[in-house]
Amino acid sequence: METSLQLIAIKHIQGAELISPFAEQVVRTTGVVTHVVRRGFFLQTPNVKWDAEASDAIFVYSPDWQATQGAVLEVCGQVLDYLAHDNAKPVTQIVQDEVRSLKSRDDEGRRYEIEPIELTQELLPQSAQALATRLNSLTAMLVSIAPGQTFIAPSNPFGDYVLALDGAERDTSSLRSEQEGVLIDAANPLRWFPGFRITNYNHAPKINVGAKLLSTLVGPLSYRVGAYQIAISDPFKVEPSYIRLKKSALTPEPGSVTVMTLNCFNLDAQIESAARVKNPRRDIDDDWGEGRFHTLAQAVVLQANTPDIVALQEIQDSDGAEISEVVEASKTYELLIATIEELSGVRYEWIDIDPELDADGGQPGGNIRNGFLFNPARISLVDGSAMVFGADESAFENSRKPLVARFREQKSQKEIACINLHLASKRHQNSIFAPVDPGVDAKLAVRVQQASVVAALIETLAASGIDYYVTGDFNDTEFSDTLSVLKGVHSANLVEHLPPTDRFDYNHRGMLQVLMHGIVSLGMAKDRAEYEIIHGNELIGVKPSEESDKPSDHAYVIAKLSLE
């Protein structure tokens, strides 16, 4: 007996999960192939009007049999509610057992037609629960996006794109940056925007934030990596956007210090050996040959005006991701310093404290750490002041430890303590579509604990009359509990002194947000501090299928702090 695709796709509640009533049963069903991917194809019932309650389509897992797009097939197989991981949303699919081709026209000679459902602002509610229900009812169905939409995320090596539904009427529900990117909303920080993945990389252009879609996109709506994406195979046209890298207006001068913050994205000087890494496909890179050292040096010199101090995150050890006993990072620092010197004539010095072997997370074998470069012609490191803070605190177990150092400015002979952070990652945050605890960030409590430890250090410095500047990768936004705890009642976040449309240094699936911050005393924030975000990296795309040459996935930030 043949079972309709809509019946198979209808989900029922079991515990906290939505599952198909046909799960683990063998079914026979018929439909038109709307899209073919490497491990299967999408099948949809033709000539049926969508009722907004359940999908009339399904994904058929068929890695050993290649379908043809447009074919009419009768498929027999077991229904499976596939789970990518323990807290993933179940995705109903058929594991193909047998396939029979049917005629491509009905008894009256008409071709079987499938009219795509256009994704519009009106169709997609902003409420997370209502949105999840609506998208679930569209899963695997042929949908379309009309021309005129704005790309709000840069292209990546995997062929992923994200759009704001502007079209004929601009989406005014979100704050936009100067470059047309969407700023994160504190009331709806995990808002979903339509995205697509193009399966043929030959048709996948490099795109910057602000580009405009000029073609109609058509493909099935697929659920993968915690979100919904449209699967696209056909080429599409865009009106490109050109992003100019910013240059800071802040320059070093006597009586003040300039501090640049730079997430170096697992920087190392080694071309790893395949036999010495955990995952040869992901863990081998050539940061020198790809130009990342040069691009970082240009950022320091040409964009940040050769600042007095550079606070670095994600510096790897001297043999990169190779699994070894090496933890020191002298080769990485020296190559970066030499590249900066060649460009500027300034010879920086560096300071860090080696982490314990494989104790701080990050890429296996990389032993990432925080570090400082400083210009000895302008400032000096206070002897004995550099230390790793919080190493004995449970909040920093298996996490990067803060690096603290005091620097003395030559003219004023005043000191400032710089605290360089890289707090616990947001990578483990649940999708808003997760069946259990949607949107919950499992590491938020850890970051709040880490912030409490750092806040205690700030109190000690303030009580001693020492100016302080807390910077780095906080992995949290300005409106988070983490930043609230860090600021306490005695400190200010310089990010909040910027115009709202400029408060971003990171782009996550089209959501511009601040993950780097600058924490100073209220007194310094009042009239002794200036702050800038040097945009570029988070707005510029890379060519899909090619290795990224972006030196960082963050923008750069810089502060100018008067000590007089």
Q: Which residues of 85-103 are buried (b: 16+ CB within 10 A; e: fewer)?
A: eebbbbbbbbbbeebeeee
| Helix residue ranges per DSSP H, 302-412 | 330-344
pLDDT on residue 106: 66
Q: Which range is least confidently modeled, 106-120, 168-182, 530-544?
A: 106-120
Rounded mean pLDDT of the chain? 93
Q: E strands along 227-368, which residues?
A: 227-232, 238-239, 256-267, 309-315, 349-351
pLDDT on residue 73: 92
Domain 5-102 shares a fold with domain 117-239: yes
Contact 72, 103 (CB under 8 A): yes
First to last CA, the chain: 84
The number of angstroms, rounded, from the C-alpha of 147 to the middle of its chain's C-alpha atoms is 26
| Collapsed DSSP state (helix, strand, coil) of residue 334 | helix
| Cα 491 to Cα 495: distance, rounded to the nearest angstrom | 12
| Cα 118 to Cα 136: distance, rounded to the nearest angstrom | 15
Mean pLDDT calculated for residue range 206-227: 94
Contact 358, 343 (CB under 8 A): no
Which residues are 315's β-sheet partners? 267, 369
pTM, two decimals, is 0.95
| Collapsed DSSP state (helix, strand, coil) of residue 399 | coil
Q: How confident is the model at residue 108 (pLDDT cuts 50, 70, 90)?
A: low
Q: Which range is least confidently modeled, 42-51, 401-410, 482-491?
A: 42-51
Contact 492, 519 (CB under 8 A): yes
Element (DSSP H or E) covering residue 166 = none
pLDDT on residue 107: 64
Quickly tell me which residue has 């010197």 as its tokens: 341
Q: Which range is least confidently modeled, 241-255, 429-443, 470-484?
A: 429-443
Residue 376 has pLDDT above 90, yes or no: yes
**Largest interatomic CA distance in the chain:** 91
Q: Which fold has domain 5-102?
A: OB fold (Dihydrolipoamide Acetyltransferase, E2P) (2.40.50)
User: Which tokens in the block code for residue 290?
Assistant: 């790809």
Cα atoms in the 13 Å half-sphere on the side-chain side of 474: 32
Residue 539 has pLDDT above 80, yes or no: yes
Q: What is the pLDDT of residues 302-344, one digit of tens each?
A: 999 999 999 999 999 999 999 999 999 999 999 999 999 999 9
| Cα 531 to Cα 295: distance, rounded to the nearest angstrom | 22
Quickly tell me which residue has 């056909």 as its tokens: 234
- Domain 256-562 belongs to what architecture? 4-Layer Sandwich (3.60)
Q: Where are the domains of the chain?
A: 5-102, 117-239, 256-562
| Collapsed DSSP state (helix, strand, coil) of residue 150 | strand
pLDDT on residue 563: 97
Residue 105 has pLDDT above 80, yes or no: no
Q: Which CATH class is domain 117-239?
A: mainly beta
Residue 12 has pLDDT above 80, yes or no: no
